[in-house]
Amino acid sequence: AITHRVGRLAIGDPSVVIAAASPHRADAFAVARYAIERIKQIAPIWKHEHFDGGEVWIEGATADPADEAARQAALERACS
């Protein structure tokens, strides 16, 4: 299950919650990691960061859509 918040968030507020269940914790962590990277690929996410002396917009995905091995491994864990 995935919940993604939108709108203005305070520092430290969770913006995404991912719940993954597995008999083995490492598999659940791997699937959750894949899910967050996939969200970064497919959802339009922009961060407007504010700090003393200015502000900046941050944009971009960190997951590699061409990484078939990572995608397949996560799917196998999620669907087994």
Residue 39: exposed, middle, or buried by beta-carbon count in 10 A (0-12, 13-18, 19+)?
Answer: middle
Residue 14 is classified by DSSP as -
- Give the pLDDT score at 20: 94
pLDDT for residue 28: 94
- Cβ neighbours around 34 below 10 Å, total: 21
Q: Which residues contact 63 (CB under 8 A, 6 or more apart)?
A: 34, 37, 38, 40, 41, 70
What's the average pLDDT block by block, 10 residues per block, for the chain (80 residues)? 86 92 93 86 75 82 66 64
pLDDT, residue 38, reads 84
pTM: 0.57
d(CA 40, CA 17): 13
